[in-house]
Amino acid sequence: MGNCLNMSGDAEDIVSIDSTQLQMLFSDVGANYSDSLAVSAPCDSICWPALSALAPIFHMLLFFFTVGGNSVLVCSLVTSKATYQPRFLLLVQISLWNILSVLPLPFNAMTYHSEWMFGVIFCQVTQGVKCAAYSGAGLLMACLALTHFFLRPERWTLLLTALSLLAWIASILLGLMQALVSEVSGWECFLNPAEDHVHWLSFTLPPLSSFFVPFLLTLATLCIARCRDGSARALESGRAWAVIILLFFLLWLPAQAALVAELLVKAGALSLDCTLQRHLNLLSKVAEALGMLHSCVNPFVVAVM
């Protein structure tokens, strides 16, 4: 009994010590948890009820006008005798970019005020198509710019076509890679890569390599072509093509810049407070709408030029 009483006394001391330590530990954990909640609290996005109500209608109208107009343009270019000239290939590629970029819009419109109802598989398909559209056109523009600058395109139509196919294959593979990490959570279908810098870097590099680099290459090619051939006829013809190409790049440039900024924020390379994050989300929506506007008016611009 004595031993038992001594053991119980020791146990009481141990319990009292452990309870004190546990209280201190839990207080520290609670403070850290509250601090982490204060830091990682989600930021509410800026929302206007009127725009939210009109968004599905705008998405559907934009989808029909873009697909209809660009499909007619692609058919007319494909049936043309000059299809394999670099400039016509460029127009076909821009039109295909525009068509692919609006393919997810009907599903966004149908689920704008309700939950995503098409499952994870279709979420992955739509995200893959979107990623392929965002990278394929830029990759081909880089091929066209380099080929137009270093070679005589009329004599290298087979090489130009092969480069086009390789660019599309690369973009499809990129779309498949990014689609594998698509997820559905309640309201939306979204990309959710692993929380590591290397994985997010793989998402940040494609917009940089497939849009901004071709943009600079195309600008350089247009400037050099203008300096090489200064005749009035060449300048007049080149001016029309320059307007079409630059209009495409400039209207999609804000969307690509906002995309890169969002990816840098998610990767932890760029730190923004809630106010700046709200403005970045708003800017990305406006920039994407600007790019979609180009998708809709591109056939009319080509017809006028």
CA 71 centroid distance within chain = 23
CATH number of 48-304: 1.20.1070.10
pLDDT in tens, 230-289: 555 555 556 677 777 778 778 877 877 887 777 777 666 777 777 777 777 778 778 877
HSE on the CB side for 61, CA within 13 Å? 8
pLDDT of residue 225: 61
Rounded distance between C-alpha atoms, residue 90 and residue 73, angstroms: 12
Residues of the chain above pLDDT 70, percent: 38
pLDDT of residue 39: 38
For the chain, give me the number of helices (H) and strands (E)?
10, 2
Output the six-digit token pair for 231. Answer: 């005749």
Rounded distance between C-alpha atoms, residue 29 and residue 27, angstroms: 5
pTM: 0.62
Listed in order, strand segments (DSSP E) in 179-226 are 182-185, 188-191
pLDDT in tens, 262-273: 777 766 677 777
**pLDDT < 50 stretches in the chain:** 1-19, 21-42
pLDDT of residue 29: 40
